[in-house]
Amino acid sequence: MVVNCTVAGNIELHAGGSLAETDQCNVGNNDFDRNFAGVFLAVKNDTSGNITVTTH
């Protein structure tokens, strides 16, 4: 999945049945390789700006 951030900060990812994890999001596109098999994907925005999440 690609997370595009307008400002740097942290995001919290929760994919499939895995535990939530906190990752750093830099300005621009950030690639995260997560297997969620179309079941469940949540991204919590802990930055002070906007984020866009795209899956592929």
Beta strand residue intervals within the chain, DSSP E: 2-5, 9-15, 21-25, 28-31, 41-45, 51-54
**Average pLDDT of span 7-20:** 88
Residue, of 44 and 37, whose pLDDT is higher: 44
**Average pLDDT of span 40-53:** 91
Reported confidence tier of residue 33, pLDDT bands at 50, 70, 90: confident
Task: Identify the pLDDT of residue 56.
Answer: 73
Report angle CA 12, 35, 4 to the nearest 5 degrees. 45
Task: Identify the pLDDT of residue 38.
Answer: 65
Task: Identify the pLDDT of residue 10.
Answer: 95
